[in-house]
Amino acid sequence: EPFDYYMFGQNYIRPVIDFRSSYVGNVSLFFEMEEKLNQGHNIVLISNHQTEADPAIIALLLESTNPHVAENLTYIAGDRVITDPPCKPFSMGRNLICVYSKKHM
C-alpha cells in the first residue's frame, strides 16, 4: 500500500495543537460551504503567507466538524513546498497547485 502522506502530516502536527483552547471561528460558514460543495459549487478561501503547517492545522481543526472539507481542500503555494526537502513530505499529502515565481526560476 502506498505511504499515506496526508496522515503523516496530520499526525506530525497534531501534538502541537491545544485542541482544548483552539477553535474555528464561524464554523457555521464551513457547514454552509460543505453544503454548497455537495451541490457542485466551487468555493475559494484566500489567506496570506501560508506556512508549511497551515494545511495540516486547518484540516485538524475541521476534521471533527467538516471532514470532507478538511480532506479535500486544494492549496496554492510557491515552489519551495515541493523543492525544499524538509517541506516536500508534508506537501505530498495535500491537493496542491504550485506557483513558480519568475524571480526564482
Residue 24 has, within 13 A of its CA and on its CB side, a CA count of 17
Residue-level pLDDT at 30: 93
C-alpha radius of gyration, the chain, whole number: 15
The three cell numbers of residue 29 are 460558514
pTM > 0.85: yes or no: no
pLDDT exceeds 60 at position 105 = no
CATH code 3.40.1130.10 for 5-104: yes
Do 69 and 34 meet the contact criterion of CB atoms below 8 Å apart?
yes
Tell me the pLDDT tens digit for each residue of 20-48: 999 999 999 999 999 999 999 999 988 87
Residue-level pLDDT at 49: 66
